[in-house]
Amino acid sequence: MAITLSTIFITGLELTGPQRLMLMWPLCLAIAVVYKTVRCEKLTEIVSASLILWVTIIFVMYAIGIALWAVFELLV
């Protein structure tokens, strides 16, 4: 198993477009959980508030990406 793990660091992994987009989901979830943990006063609010923030972050990032892609296609 150590040989396979070391090859990940030597040779890069091929990621397609959808795989790259899905890599931001856990990152945004971690950011949302940490942010809401600091901001919420009650412990019971953290889960729902962080999920709402997570969905909002993902939606806005995809919307901005689509808008920038559309502008790029119009200019080229």
| Angle between helical axes of 24-39 and 45-75 (0-180°, round to 10) | 140
Question: Does the predicted model carry a pTM greater than 0.85?
Answer: no
Residue at 26 is within a domain = yes
Tens-digit pLDDT profile for residues 49-65: 999 999 999 999 999 99
Instruction: Answer for the pair 36, 53: CB distance below 8 angstroms, yes or no.
Output: yes
Six token digits for residue 56: 């909002």
Residue at 19 is within a domain = yes
Residue 50, Cβ density class (10 Å: 0-12 exposed, 13-18 middle, ≥19 buried): buried
Instruction: Answer for the pair 32, 50: CB distance below 8 angstroms, yes or no.
Output: yes
Number of structural domains (the chain) is: 1
Tens-digit pLDDT profile for residues 2-40: 567 777 778 877 888 889 889 999 999 999 999 999 999
**Which domain, by its residues, includes 52?**
15-75
Residue at 10 is within a domain = no
Tokens 């040989």 -> residue: 3
